[in-house]
Amino acid sequence: MSKRQQLVKSTFVLYLGKIPQLITLLLLPLYTRYLSKADYGTIDLITVYAVLLVSIFTLQSEMASFRFLVDARDDPCQRKRVISAGVQIGILSLVIVVIGSIVLKHFVALQHIKSIVLYMCISIVSGLFLQFARGLGKNTKYAVASLIAGTTTIIFNILLVVIFSLGVKGILISMILANFLASLYLYLTLKLYKEIDVRLHLKKLRSEMIKYSLPLVPSSIFGWIIAASDRSIIALYLGLASSGIYAVSNKFSVLFAGAVYIFTLSWSESASRHINDNDRDFYSDTFDETLKIFGSIGLMMIAFLPVYFNILVSSEFQEAYLYVPILITSVFMSAIIAYYSGIYIAKKMTGKIATTTAFAAIINLIVTLILIKFIGIYAAAIATFVSLVTLAIYRYFDIKNILVLNYNKKNLVMIIAMYIISILLCYYNVLYGNVINILLTTAFVVVLNNSTIRSSMNKILDLLHLNKINYDQKQQTHN
C-alpha cells in the first residue's frame, strides 16, 4: 500500500468515529429548544475552559505518549515503558486537578464544580488512552472509541436534557458517562492492564517525554486563545446570551473542524513515519490534496447554508447565520495550518508550533478586543479568521527552511476567489442567488477534484470488476 493510500485509509477509519457529530448537528433543533441562550453559552464556556485546563495539567503528555509509541511499536519492552510512563504522568495530572479544585472551592463559588472536575478527570484518562491507540497504530479502535463516546453522548443528552430537563448538568453528566465508556472500551480492547506497570522506575523516560510535550503546552494555550477566548470576551462584553448565539454558529463548523482534526491525527502519524524518506513529492502532493479537499468541503457548506440553517435552528438563534460563513472559512485555514503542524511534529520541533501559534494568538486577542465594542459578535469571527490566515502565512515561510513544497498555486488562487463569491452570495441570501451559488460551487468543486474523482471511480469499477470475476469463478467451480 502506498503512503498516500495509507494516509487516506487512516483518515477514513478515524473519521468514522466522528459520525456522531453529524447526528449532534441534526439534533440542534432539540438543544436550541430545550436550552436557553444563557444555558448554551454556559455549557460552551465550561467545555472550552475544561479543554484548556486539561491541556495545562497534563503538560500535553498524551501527545508525547503517541509520538514515543510510534517509535516503540515493534519493541514490546519499550512499548510497555512508554505506556507506563504516560500513565504515571496522567496520575499526577489527576491529583493536581483534584487538589486544585479543592483549593479553588475556598475562593470561588462555581456552579456544577463537582461535575466539572469529574469531567476533567475522565477527559484526562480518555485522552491518554486514545493517544495510546494512535501510537500503537490501532486507528480502528480509536475510531470505535470515538464512535462510542459520540453516540452515548447523544443518547444521554436526549435522556437527561430533553426528557429529564436537567439542562447544563445533564450535558455534563452525559459527557462524563460517554468518556468513561470510551475509556473502558480502550482499556479492555488494547489490553492496557497488561501494558501498565506504575511501579516501573521511568524517571529518565518521563523527563524525555515531558521535554517533548512541554512546548506543546503554550502552543495549546495559544491555540485555545485563537479558538475559544472569543467566547469569554463575548460573554464579558455582550453577555451569556450572545455567547450562546456564537456557540450555535460554531456548531455548524464543528463537523468540518472534526474532519480537519482527524486529518491532523492521521497526517502527523504518516509524516512522522516517513519524514526521513527521500520522497519529497509525497509532501507536496499531500499539500495539494489538502487544499482541494478541505477547500471543497468548506465551499459546499457555505453554498448550502441557506438550505439547512433554518431547518436546524430555532427562530431565537437566527442571528447565528451571520457568523457561520466566516467560521467555516476559518476552519479551511486551520486545515492548512494542520498540514504544517504535522511536519513540525514529525521533526519533533514542537517549539516551533508554540512560537508560531503564540504569534497568531496575540493577533486574535488584539483584533477581538479592538472590534468587539464596534461590531459585536462579528469581532470574534473576524479575529479568528485573521489570526488563522496570519498563522498559515507565517508557517508557510517558516516551513520553507525545513521542506521545499511544490504545490499548485493556481488552485489556491481559484479557491480563494470562489470563497469570496460564495460568501457574498450566502450573505445576499435570496432564492436565485442561493441557486446560483449551489450550482456554481458544485461545478467548481467537481472540476477542481476531477482527477481525484476519476481515480476513485476507476478504483471502484476495478473493485466491482474483480468481484465479478471472483463470483464467476466461484460459480464455475460450483457447477
Tens-digit pLDDT string for the chain (479 aa):
555 556 556 555 555 555 545 555 556 666 667 777 778 778 877 887 888 888 888 888 888 898 899 888 888 899 999 999 999 999 999 999 999 888 877 776 677 788 889 999 999 999 999 989 988 988 889 888 988 988 888 889 889 988 888 888 898 999 899 999 999 999 999 999 999 998 888 999 999 998 888 877 877 787 777 777 788 899 889 988 888 888 888 888 877 887 787 788 778 777 777 766 666 677 888 888 889 999 999 999 999 999 988 888 877 888 999 999 999 999 999 999 988 888 887 777 777 888 888 888 899 999 999 999 999 999 999 999 999 999 999 888 888 887 777 778 899 999 999 999 999 999 999 999 999 999 999 999 999 988 877 776 776 665 555 555 555 565 566 55
- Between helices 324-346 and 350-375, what is the axis angle to 10°? 170
Q: Against a cut of 0.75, is the pTM above it?
A: no
Which residue in 377, 384, 336 sits closest to 361, CA to CA? 384
What residues contact 227, with CB distance under 8 A and at least 6 apart?
Answer: 48, 384
Residues 6+ apart with CB under 8 A from 122: 176, 179, 180, 183
For 428, the grid coordinates are 445576499
Which of 45, 53, 51 lies closest to 96, judged by CA?
53
Hey, what's the cell of 231? Answer: 467566547
Q: What is the pLDDT of residue 19?
A: 54
CA distance linking residue 12 with residue 143, whole number of Å: 9
Residue 415 and residue 422: Cα distance in Å, rounded? 10
Q: Which of 338, 186, 205, 214 is closest to 270 using CA atoms?
A: 338
Which residue in 216, 232, 221 sits closest to 264, CA to CA?
216
**How far is it, in rounded angstroms, from Cα 425 to Cα 413?**
19
Three-state DSSP class for residue 419: helix
Nearest alpha carbon to residue 384 among 398, 404, 364: 364
Query: Which residues does 273 contact at the CB level (< 8 Å), separation at least 6?
Result: 70
CA triplet 292, 2, 68: central angle to 5 degrees? 90
Distance CA 33, CA 287 (A): 41
